[in-house]
A and B are shown apart, each in its own frame.
Chain A
């Protein structure tokens, strides 16, 4: 029963492109993309409370991999290559950084995204002599949607599995108290590293799958730090340590952004800013926790 509902929803979502306009499909792609990003991000950060702003470093790398390889390799292999590159990058980064904690980790990941962007730019300008690459792939919006939906479903399934596994338990303990975790015999470095690599691989794949949507790829375009910020906000709004939290944060926020930017193109950043501040104050632990609190207080009243 618990499995049935998500499966029915997945089937309905997979069928949805047949019912909606191109814009509707665009909305679906956007929403699923952010759900997947937020879930992928929460896979590592949700329990450990390590707030990573490196999302776009992986997302952009995925998009860039497609841009570089799309003419030399068949598309499925390009995706595999992107996943491998993302995982390798995460492994290197993870090995060197996961001992950083708190705000240092936040800032490190922020700097990482910029460093990657600068290095790619420099490499393209000085070694290949071009900047800006084209992706002419025969991938329709529907294909992108289905791929993204599959990736999103896989991510949520993986999250559900991790939550129940030893790894999930380890991550939760780490998030509560690293010292306790270390004393209770959990291999801190290994648990964090596995989760980080899994998370980064998903984020890289999201970038790769989404990239054919825009034909032209340039470091300044694909390494847009807003992506990192939005991902964090969405996951936290829903509740990053719950299975359905990131999805519940991503979908409404995505729709609100869309609504604001079309109805208030001039003043939309102001509304957006106010909204954020309101969320932080009104829903400190995410929407899901807020709903639970509300239910609890209602129960108390009826009881």
Chain B
């Protein structure tokens, strides 16, 4: 049955059934001139902070940009406006699962954009697969991505896994060690959460292989607000490198604690949050030299333009890790729709095989994953710049040792 037929049948069906089904009928008709895009993201609860920085602003910015330009270009040359259906998942997976069911079976949206966070994306992956939607996941960081792509062929994983970030960091530190800048001792702390544990599990063997010694290696629970004791231990360990696989509250807390206690390791690396636009403010203007997860090509014109537009529309600059990737994923979606329309199977195929021109440069996915990523970035002259992989276009040279606070 062709698409047209299905819709016609639906229309006849709904005429017969009168008011009860009038909603779905109007959706089916509206689908002819707009593209409905749905998402359920955390507006409230513990995930609201992450979603409010990385995910929601970029969704809104992209929809605004597209609609101001007259809508999404379709393969037949026409343009269709985007209509958004949005729900709050209240940071709860059960609510999220139900919201996805609602978007898919009741609102019958054309495209569903992914929620924020690895756990949330995993929670809905089977549903998205069953409903036949593509899942263009960005903020889902996991080493198991290749496995999941096999399980859910329309799922995408655009931010790498813990091992990638850990290896990137070790590679960079090895170079500094070989150059005689730092000693071979590392103090590392990790947040007791899926993400932190992924990273530390990847980092331990990589550090050992590269000849580093982990002189302090502890995890701390999510929700820790005081880091004085931990930082004190790290300082006394004698390591030249301090590495924290942390979440924003921890990254910020450790930075402030390190500053106030005068802890000046030659390498100061923090996890999520280090690339946030508010970080220089948290570091009291002394962010330069701090290393963190992520990065962008700060010299690229497209990135600078994106930062400026994000600041203008959203009110604050984006973060320098997942924000640009999120926006790029939407640009890819836009370009794929222009080629194949809103059929989710065709879109998934196109996204995986096509080459796209985005704010992060030319993108080509490998096996539904984006592998050409920045693993480590550093604050330099007030901008957060990608430093590893060192051979990536636009990579800045890492500044080690970090200047004192």
Contact = CB atoms under 8 A, between A and B. Distances in A.
B119 A21 contact: no
Interface stretch (B86-94, B304-312, B382-390): B86-94
A23 B98 contact: yes
Interface stretch (A149-157, A162-170, A176-184, A213-221): A213-221
B105 A22 contact: yes
A214 B101 contact: no
B103 to A, nearest CB: 8
A220 B193 contact: yes
Interface residues of A, number: 39
A292 interface: no
B127 to A, nearest CB: 8
> B-side binding surface: helix, strand, loop or mixed?
helix
A129 interface: yes
Interface in A23-49: 23-27, 29-30, 33
A125 interface: yes
A218 B47 CA distance: 14
For chain B, the bracket of interface size reads: 35 or more
B94 A125 contact: no
A118 B86 CA distance: 33
Nearest to B197: A131
Contacts of A216: 93, 118-119, 122-123
A220 B222 CA distance: 8
B43 A25 contact: no
A22 B43 contact: no
A124 B219 CA distance: 11
Given A22-B104, A126-B219, A266-B43, A218 B88 contact: no
A21 B108 CA distance: 11
B193 A26 contact: no
Contacts of B43: 265-266, 268
Given A226-B45, A261-B87, A22 B101 contact: yes
Contacts of B201: 129-130
Interface in A110-147: 118, 121-122, 124-126, 129-132, 134, 141
A215 B43 CA distance: 22
A26 B219 contact: no
B96 to A, nearest CB: 8
Given A134-B122, A214-B97, A118 B221 contact: yes
Contacts of A27: 98
Interface string A259-279: 001100110110000000000
A243 interface: no
A148 to B, nearest CB: 12
B125 interface: yes
Given A23-B105, A216-B122, A220-B222, A265 B87 contact: yes
A268 B123 contact: no
Contact of B101 (A23, A33, A218, A261): A23
A24 B311 CA distance: 40
Interface string B336-377: 000000000000000000000000000000000000000000
Given A121-B221, A226-B92, A132 B102 contact: no
A224 interface: yes
Contact of A125 (B44, B105, B192): B192
A121 B123 contact: no
Given A21-B106, A125-B219, A26 B119 contact: no
B403 interface: no
A25 B101 contact: yes
Contacts of B119: 132, 214, 216, 218, 220-221
Given A218-B194, A265-B86, 4 more contacts: A214-B119, A215-B126, A220-B119, A221-B119
